[in-house]
Amino acid sequence: MKLTPSSHLWRGLLALVLFLTFFPFIFMVMTSLKDTHQFFHTFWLPAFPLHLENYANAFRDLSRFIWNSLLVTGVSITGILFFSAVAGFLFARYDFPGRSVLYYGIIMMMMIPGVLMLVPSFVWVKKLGLLDTYWVMVLPYVAGGQILGIYLLRGFFSEIDNDLFEAAQVDGAGLLRQLWHVAIPLAKPVLGVVAIVSALGVWNGFLWPLVTTSSEDVMVLTVGMMRYNSRVFGMYGRMFAGYTISAIPLGILFAFSTRLFMKGITSGALKAGTAPAARARPAPRQPGRYASRFHVYLPGVDVMIVITKRIKVGS
Amino acid sequence: MSSIPSADAGRPAGPKSAPRRRRPAAAPPLALIYALLLLPVAFLAVFNYVPAASALYHAFTSWDVGEASTWIGLGNFRTMLADDVFRKSLRNLAKLGSFVLVVNMTVPFLVAEMIFHLRQERWRYLSRVAVVMPMVVPGVVTFMLWRYIYSDAGVLTELLRALDLRGWIHGWLSHPKTALWAVAFVGFPFAHGFNVLIYYAGLTNIPTDVLEAAEVDGLGKAGRILRIHIPLILQQVKLLFIVTVIAIVNGFEGIYILTDDGGPGYETMVPGLYMYQNGFTYQKMGYACAIGLAMLLFLLIFTIVVNRLMRTEKYHPGAPRA
């Protein structure tokens, strides 16, 4: 690309768009360090001295919610990864009566957005006596989160050469040992993607915990922020310090796994694990950039097409 | 095989269509397989299938909290058609949705193009990281930030004061004329990280020789974008079209935080929020289920229609075209 005036223009535009995108967040961090007087008198610029006590105060108010969020997210991810790996492996590797029915029965649920079942789900967990517990969040999150995981891992495992597993079999490794010692280590990149997608989903989850929890003992951060907001009304510095704190956990995750994070975000839509698949199989046919070809699919739609085709073929 | 529905393109073959996977010689006992699958399947049955079945059934019932539901057939759907609030919510969704759809489809494309045109891979990578970074802030908090921006002591008010446009200052979210537009402009300038990444992935998929050929043929930058880039990323366009519409129809979390109850009046009411209010505020659970079902049916039909109408081909380098 030649250095033309227009390319300067494009770069300038890009910088402007990025600045505007970031502005609310820059403002948030800047204001989180001000007291109320500074907020009203130096609105647009950073003001000194910095009021770090805003963070101490905000953290005191939010620490319980943060802990709850970390707990719910951690336990949910563990469950999701475990279920996805086991079920994905079984569906990919073994043939057993009812395999297709079970697999499509699981995947089909991807088509139904959970938010549209908010009301009946609420009545149901209330009947189960789960309201206001960690379980009311963890159990449904695992149930829903495993679906994409099973889909991605089944896809991944069915692309791995059988030889690896057959070799393990010859060495006397049974199903569980093959799963634990061969399959899961190979699937680490895909499991990472599933973990990130789940972390984003669970950490950001709002409506479900909003309707199912009311006690601050189990309340997660997103819902707790609503209470916090009214508690710190008018104290802008403290309010923004709380907002900033809420971004730190995912911020840390992002800082330590930027590439995986970026892949995770799109993996609901882009086929994950291009790299591991390429490692497990012979070299891809096309050299260079072609190798990084992404396939686009949308799980829910995809399943629907498969199912309608099957119905057509069957009739 | 000249046209392949894109959704099929990257799909790992379904279990039945994988003939090379034979049952290994020393297959594990079936009981073990079923035992291992028991938990995942049980979770799904309890927390997904039961509520889904309940939603489907109760959409045809009148169901108040604490009372037994009674079957009323299509009664809820008839109520819906005559319900002024529901119709208002549909109009709001149409207005809000068409604006949000257009900006969320176009701006990320332009941003992806800008990033794609950067010369150094390092800057391209850093720019992508930058557009994704706002996603570490919980969505709920981002909406709270925007509620602040529109508030009396907010950024917009201060900006207008600094520009000496005091006459323009008003409660953006509380004035009936501006509330819906204030909601629509949340997220300005709409460089949505997810969408940018999808478009960008599409652009990097275009084989370099195609781009070079276009350049050799003397296509200008605009020509390349219009005649090469856009036709070759139609898969991504379709995907984002579907995903964005689904997100718009289902998404009322933001409106809940920004305006609490779809106010002022019903100016920012959308069907999702109305469903929520019927279920949890008015305690009309059956009606809420019916609204949810109507939204689901709309989305399913929409997705099928878009998939039928927008058949996209996969680009096969070197493969002869029929």
Q: What is the pLDDT along chain B (322 residues), one digit of tens a residue?
A: 333 333 333 444 444 444 444 555 457 788 889 999 999 999 999 999 999 999 999 999 988 877 788 899 898 999 999 999 999 999 999 999 999 999 999 999 999 988 988 888 898 899 889 998 888 999 999 999 999 999 888 888 888 888 888 888 888 888 888 899 999 999 888 888 888 988 988 888 888 888 888 878 877 777 788 888 888 888 888 888 888 898 899 889 999 999 988 878 899 999 999 999 999 998 899 999 999 999 999 998 888 888 788 766 554 444 444 3
Does the residue A96 lie in any domain? yes
Amino acid letter for position A24: P
Domains of chain B, residue spans: 83-309
Does the residue A91 lie in any domain? yes
pLDDT confidence of residue B26: 58
What fold does the segment set B83-309 form as a domain? MetI-like fold (1.10.3720)
Residue A135 burial (CB count, 10 A): 17
Residue B163 burial (CB count, 10 A): 9
Q: What is the DSSP string of A182-214?
A: IIHHHTHHHHHHHHHHHHHHHHH--HHHHHH--
Name the nearest CA neighbour of A143 among A159, A164, A121, A123: A121
Residue at token pair 């290994």: B24
Alpha carbon separation from B222 to A210, A314, B32, B229 (Å, rounded): 48, 49, 60, 10
CA distance B281 to B273: 11
Name the nearest CA neighbour of A273 among A188, A215, A190: A190
Closest CB from B15, B115, B296 relative to A100: B15
Does the residue A234 lie in any domain? no
Does the residue A31 lie in any domain? no
CB contact under 8 A, B136 and A251: yes
Q: Is B179 exposed, middle or buried (0-12, 13-18, 19+ CB in 10 A)?
A: buried
Measure in Å the smallest separation between the Cα of A265 and chain B Cα atoms: 7
- pLDDT digit string (tens) for A236-295? 899 999 999 999 999 999 888 888 888 777 765 544 223 333 333 333 333 332 222 233
Alpha carbon separation from A259 to A77, A269, B265 (Å, rounded): 19, 16, 45
Does the residue A222 lie in any domain? yes
Does the residue A130 lie in any domain? yes
- Token digits of residue B145: 């930030």
What's the first-to-final CA gap in chain B, in angstroms? 7
Name the nearest CA neighbour of A125 among B249, B60, B54, B61: B54
Q: Which residues 168-197 of B are in CB contact (within 8 Å) with A?
A: 188-189, 191, 193-194, 197
CB contact under 8 A, B134 and A120: no
- pLDDT digit string (tens) for A172-219? 778 888 888 888 888 888 898 899 889 988 999 999 999 999 999 999
Alpha carbon separation from B269 to A170, B76, B87, B250 (Å, rounded): 63, 19, 10, 13
The mean pLDDT of chain B is 83
Range of the domain at A279: 62-227+249-314
Read off the CATH number of the domain in which A78 is found: 1.10.3720.10
C-beta separation of A286 from B316 below 8 A: no
Count of domains forming chain A: 1
Query: Within a 13 Å sphere around the CA of B42, how many CA atoms are in the beta-carbon half?
Result: 7
- What length is written for chain B? 322
Does the residue A20 lie in any domain? no
Does the residue A270 lie in any domain? yes
CA distance A155 to B12: 5
Measure in Å the smallest separation between the Cα of B176 and chain A Cα atoms: 24
C-beta separation of A196 from A260 below 8 A: yes
CA distance B247 to B269: 16
Mutate to test the interface with A, among B6, B44, B132 (most CBs of A within 10 A): B44
3-state secondary structure of B1: coil
Name the nearest CA neighbour of B291 among A112, A206, A117: A117
